[in-house]
Structure 1
Amino acid sequence: MSNRYEIIIYWSERDDVYIAEVPELPGCQADGKSYQEAVSNAEVIIGEWIETARELGREIPQPKGRLMFA
């Protein structure tokens, strides 16, 4: 399920890294020096976000797919 969440990736001049945000999971974001590293880190963080939500008995949103339009 974790690979179905939308990930928004952008470059942060201030931090000098790519930022990967997962809008369907509040507060879920990662970064990386490369685009690929940001995506990889986001996949790990999504899994950890879901695991923590389960441990705390919180609702886990179902992935909705594409949320934003370019």
Structure 2
Amino acid sequence: MMSPKLLEIDRTIRNLSLAEQQWLLDRLTKQVQERTQSRGKFSDLEAIKQQLEDMANDPDIQREIAEINQEFAIAEMDGLENVPHSSVYLCVSVVK
């Protein structure tokens, strides 16, 4: 059963010109498609989160990350982690 509000909208639509009805139909179609696609994006987002979690728990990836951290350990000795980010950004901006 349709709600009274929906029946009222239906009556109002019947009073629109054909061009106005076509415009409304196109707009509704677009909105439904966008909502359907965004729902799909959220399910894809859940799949991506699961993949990231799987990767984080993968021993091979953990080993690779440890190797990368070891390679960059020397760079961490430059003391920049104690400098405010805005100062680092300014230094980089000036160098460019």
Q: TM-score, normalised by structure 2?
A: 0.28
Higher strand share: 1
Q: Which has the larger radius of gyration?
A: 2
Query: Which protein, 1 or 2, shows the higher relative CO under an 8 Å CA cutoff with sep ≥ 6?
Result: 1
Higher helix share: 2
Q: TM-score, normalised by structure 1?
A: 0.37
